[in-house]
C-alpha cells in the first residue's frame, strides 16, 4: 500500500513533544544521602553483591514499594513547584522522570530525594538506598526494606514518527500517512526498535526483580485491541511492538494487571492538555510502570492528574503520571 508524504507543519499537540535526547552524561549524584545510605559505583559492586540477599532479610516481611512514572514536559516548563506537587501527591519511593533536563537537581533538592542522572533528558529520583547503576545507565539497583535488591529502569522512547497520528491523518513532523497494522508496526520499529533493544540488553545485565517506568510515545498492544477498534475508540487493532517486546521479556504492565479490561479502564495519560474530541489529537495510554521477577506483585495502581484517580490542579505537564504500589516478597 502506497504511503503519502505529510507536510512538515506541526500540530498544536506535536509542538509539545520533545526534541531528540542529548548524549548521555556520566554524573551520578550522591549529595542527598540519608543516615542509612549505601552507595557504590557499578565497577565497585561485584556480581555477588548485586545478587546476594542479607541473611537477616530471610525472615523479613514482604516489602512494599511505590514506583511512579512522570513526563515533566520540556524541562519542567510550567515550573519545578508544580512538578514537585504531582510527585508529592503520588508519594513514590522511586520515580522515573522523562523530559527532565536542568530541573532535575532543583526538583531533587525540593523533594529530598536522591538524584540519579541517566542523560540530559532522563533521570530517576529515589528515597531508597542506591547500590549501583547499570552499564548503559538505563537503570539503577536499589535496596528494599526487606533486603532484596530491585533494579529500576526508566525509558523515554523516541517521539516521531508517532503512529496514532499517522493512522489518523494528523500532520506531525515529517511522518507519513499509514493505513494498516503492519505499517504501524514497521514505523514503530524504525522509530523505537533500537532504543527498546538497548533497554532490554541493559536489563539483562542484572539478575534481580525489575521495574520499568517510561513514556513510550507509543500505545500498548493491550489497549489497541479488536474490541477497542470495533467500538471506535481506536482506528484499528495494533499489536504495538514496544510494549509487546517488554511483555515477551517477562514484564507485566501494572495497570493492566490491576485493570485488565481496556474498555472500562482506558487509563489515558496522553494528554490532559487537549479535549477528548480534539481533531488534532488522540487520547491514549503512553506512560507505564512494568515489573518482573520472583515474588513481585502489583497491589494497586493510580493515574495522577486532572480527571484522574489522584487529582492535582492546576496540572503542570502534558502527561498524566502513573504510580504503582508493588509488593516484593523476601527471597
Mark the ranges of the chain whose per-residue pLDDT is less than 50. Answer: 1-57
The answer as to whether 12 is a domain residue is no
Q: Which three cell numbers stand for residue 225?
A: 485491541
Q: What is the secondary structure of 66-85 as a DSSP string?
A: EEEEEE-STTTTT-HHHHHH
The answer as to whether 2 is a domain residue is no
- N-term to C-term CA, the chain: 53
Identify whether the C-beta of residue 147 lies closer than 8 Å to the C-beta of residue 135: no
Give the angle 54-56-62 at the CA atoms, nearest 5°. 90
**What is the structure's pLDDT at 39?**
35
**What is the structure's pLDDT at 46?**
33
Identify whether the C-beta of residue 304 lies closer than 8 Å to the C-beta of residue 321: yes
d(CA 14, CA 11): 5
d(CA 96, CA 211): 10
The answer as to whether 45 is a domain residue is no
CA dist list (Å): 198 to 137, 201, 287, 309, 326: 10, 5, 19, 33, 25
The answer as to whether 20 is a domain residue is no
The answer as to whether 315 is a domain residue is yes
Identify the residue whose cell numbers are 526487606.
146
pTM: 0.85
**What is the structure's pLDDT at 14?**
38
d(CA 268, CA 325): 19
**What is the structure's pLDDT at 174?**
87
Strand residue runs (E) in 101-238: 114-117, 122-126, 130-133, 139-143, 149-156, 210-215
Number of domain units in the chain: 1
Closest CA to 324 of 100, 70, 117: 70
Q: What is the secondary structure of 176-213 as a DSSP string?
A: B---SHHHHHHHHHHHHHHHHHHHHHHHTT--S-EEEE
Q: What CATH number has the domain bearing residue 121?
A: 3.60.10.10
**What is the structure's pLDDT at 27?**
37
**What is the structure's pLDDT at 60?**
75
- Domain range enclosing 147: 68-328
d(CA 176, CA 263): 29
pLDDT in tens, 236-258: 999 999 999 999 999 999 999 99
**What is the structure's pLDDT at 254?**
99
The answer as to whether 27 is a domain residue is no
Identify the residue whose cell numbers are 532535575.
104
Identify the residue whose cell numbers are 513533544.
17
d(CA 17, CA 10): 10
The answer as to whether 43 is a domain residue is no
Identify whether the C-beta of residue 257 lies closer than 8 Å to the C-beta of residue 220: no
Give the angle 241-242-245 at the CA atoms, nearest 5°. 80
Burial 46-80 (b: 16+ CB within 10 A, else e): eeeebeebeeebeebeebebbbbbbbbbbebbeeb
**What is the structure's pLDDT at 253?**
99
The answer as to whether 57 is a domain residue is no
Identify whether the C-beta of residue 296 lies closer than 8 Å to the C-beta of residue 250: no
Amino acid at each position: 500500500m502506497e504511503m503519502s508524504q505529510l507536510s512538515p507543519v506541526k500540530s498544536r499537540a506535536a509542538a509539545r513533544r520533545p526534541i531528540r535526547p542529548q548524549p548521555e552524561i556520566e554524573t551520578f549524584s550522591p549529595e542527598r544521602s540519608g543516615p542509612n545510605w549505601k552507595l557504590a559505583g557499578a565497577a565497585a559492586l561485584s556480581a555477588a553483591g548485586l545478587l546476594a540477599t542479607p541473611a537477616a532479610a530471610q525472615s523479613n516481611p514482604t516489602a512494599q514499594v511505590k514506583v511512579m512514572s512522570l513526563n515533566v514536559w520540556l524541562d519542567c516548563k510550567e515550573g519545578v513547584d508544580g512538578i514537585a506537587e504531582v510527585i508529592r501527591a503520588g508519594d513514590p519511593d522511586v520515580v522515573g522522570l522523562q523530559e527532565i533536563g536542568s530541573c532535575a537537581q532543583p526538583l531533587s533538592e525540593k523533594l529530598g530525594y536522591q538524584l540519579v542522572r541517566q542523560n540530559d533528558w532522563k533521570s530517576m529520583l529515589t528515597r531508597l538506598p542506591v547500590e549501583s547503576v547499570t552499564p548503559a545507565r538505563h537503570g539503577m539497583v536499589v535496596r528494599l526494606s526487606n533486603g532484596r535488591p530491585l533494579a529500576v529502569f526508566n525509558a523515554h522512547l523516541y517521539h516521531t514518527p508517532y503512529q496514532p497520528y499517522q493512522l489518523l491523518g494528523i500532520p506531525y513532523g515529517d511522518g507519513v500517512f499509514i493505513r494498516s497494522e503492519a505499517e504501524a508496526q514497521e514505523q514503530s520499529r524504525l522509530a523505537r526498535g533500537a532504543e527498546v533493544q538497548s533497554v532490554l540488553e541493559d536489563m539483562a545485565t542484572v539478575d534481580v526483580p525489575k521495574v520499568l517506568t517510561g513514556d513510550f510515545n507509543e500505545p500498548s498492544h493491550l489497549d489497541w485491541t479488536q474490541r477497542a477498534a470495533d467500538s471506535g475508540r481506536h482506528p484499528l487493532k495494533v499489536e504495538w511492538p514496544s510494549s509487546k517486546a517488554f511483555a515477551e521479556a517477562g514484564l507485566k504492565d501494572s495497570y493492566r494487571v490491576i485493570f485488565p479490561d481496556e474498555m472500562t479502564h482506558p487509563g489515558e495519560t496522553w494528554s490532559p492538555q487537549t479535549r477528548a474530541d480534539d481533531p488534532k489529537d488522540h487520547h491514549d495510554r503512553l506512560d507505564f510502570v512494568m515489573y518482573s521477577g520472583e515474588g513481585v506483585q502489583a497491589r494497586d495502581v493510580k493515574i495522577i492528574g486532572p480527571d484522574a484517580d489522584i487529582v492535582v490542579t492546576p496540572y503542570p505537564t502534558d502527561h498524566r503520571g502513573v504510580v504503582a504500589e508493588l509488593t516484593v516478597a523476601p527471597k
